[in-house]
Amino acid sequence: MTAPARPGAAVSVTLTGPHVRAAHLALAAETRARMAAAEAAADAAERARAAVVRARSSVADRLTDWAGGRARRERAAVLALVAEGTVLERAEVRDLFVVQDPTTGTASCDWERLTRWLYYPTISREDRAFLYCVLSLAGRAPVVLGALVPELGKRRAAILLSALGTLAGTCGT
């Protein structure tokens, strides 16, 4: 250390040696550890929030939320999927067209992807007929009802009629 030449002059201090280097390395390590802990806490909080969103709402609920901001055709198609229920319960079918974001907890329908995978082996003939009608409701595929209705069964036909009422604007949804 050098002494000031006159009162009020700047003091220049040069610290060297192994103790200073060790102190610097310890401070840097402590800073890195704090930053890593903060990042881990933020990640854990985000995962917990997403888990709460997922636990609070099913895929059907999240799709319904998504459809609320979409065109009436897509709302009617999602209404049919949710009302039918069994297609969304089966992961091997649902995962072909439902896109879920684990970070935000949202879900949406990828109609184009469903169109591409409609003839995937895990989709039965009856499911295919129903999904084809759902695609038609969403405005993604033309349908010849006379060819598909016999494959649907009464329950699914009633669900599609209800969805058609939504599309026509006669229902409150």
Q: What is the pLDDT of residues 6-36, one digit of tens each?
A: 666 555 555 566 667 777 677 778 888 888 8
The pLDDT value given to residue 111: 94
Question: How are beta strands 106-109 and 98-101 bridged, if at all?
Answer: antiparallel
pLDDT band of 152, cuts 50, 70, 90: very high
For the chain, the first-to-last Cα distance in angstroms comes to: 80
Partners of residue 109 on adjacent β-strands: 98
pLDDT band of 126, cuts 50, 70, 90: very high
Does the model's pTM come out above 0.75?
no
Greater confidence (158 vs 38) lies with 158
Average pLDDT over residues 34-58: 69
CA 141 – CA 151 distance, rounded (Å): 17
Per-chain mean pLDDT for the chain: 83
- The 10 Å Cβ neighbour count of residue 78 is 28
Per the listing, tokens 């599309």 go with 167
CA 147 – CA 139 distance, rounded (Å): 18
Domain boundaries in the chain?
Answer: 13-56, 58-168
Residue 54 has pLDDT above 80, yes or no: no
SS3 109: strand
Burial class (CB in 10 A: 0-12, 13-18, 19+), 30: exposed
In 17-169, alpha helices (H): 18-56, 59-67, 72-84, 86-89, 91-94, 111-117, 125-137, 145-152, 154-168
Q: How far apart, in Å, are the Cα atoms of 150 and each of 12, 76, 77, 147, 156?
A: 93, 21, 19, 7, 10
Question: How does pLDDT run across 60-94, given as a tens digit for each residue?
Answer: 999 999 999 999 999 999 999 999 999 999 888 88
